[in-house]
Amino acid sequence: MHDIEPFYRWCGEYSAAEDPKSPFYGREYSEFVFSNTVYNYFIHPQWDDFGSKTLYTKILYTDYDKGYTIIECIGEWNDCLYNDIMLFKQGIIEVMEMHGISKFILILENVLSFHRSDDCYYEEWAEETREEGGWICTVNLLDHVMRDFQDAHLDNYLFMGPELNGIPWRKFRPEYFFERIDEMVHNSRPKMLY
């Protein structure tokens, strides 16, 4: 896991550590000191710790004018033992919502497992985004993780599905990636309970 770095090609356009509105403003990173772990496995030091014992994140890009952000995650999403959704929502999402972000693209291809609890935080987050005309979308979920999300009925709150998996997002500019996801979300809205 220590070889998996957050996507870095957009760093010249956006850095959460240099964004005064970001929850990670002022963070400094090492390329050589590995301190964060998912269980006994060290992860790359560029991932951001937000309080979870098993889940880490990186805000790859944020556009305050258009109200969206692209967030990549790695590890195990564990609501059952560690209430990761509470930590994620309170430590990252609510800070971004205060600055007008209402559209969230979560890149979850490096989330290796999901353990559910109740869905209260997901429901609250979805309601908040809907009130602002926004949405929450997952991209490139592993098949078994997507099934676990669906078994927990999180597809009531998050856009997910086969059409959002397998997107080669790394080859896109962030603006085009957002436009493509936004169009897919709007085209699938009638199918959602959302």
If one counts the domains in the chain, the total is 1
Is 29 contained in some domain?
A: no
Tell me the mean pLDDT in the region 166-176. Answer: 96
Q: pLDDT by residue (tens digit) across 71-109? A: 999 999 999 999 999 999 999 999 999 999 999 999 999
Domain membership of residue 18 (yes or no) is: no
- Residue 76's DSSP bridge partners are 113
Domain of 85, in residue numbers = 34-191
Look at residue 155 in the predicted model and tell me its pLDDT. 94
Q: Is the pLDDT of residue 193 over 50?
A: no
Residues 91 and 75: their CA atoms lie apart, in Å, by: 17
**Is the pLDDT assigned to residue 146 strictly greater than 60?**
yes
Residue 141 CA to residue 134 CA, distance in Å, equals 20
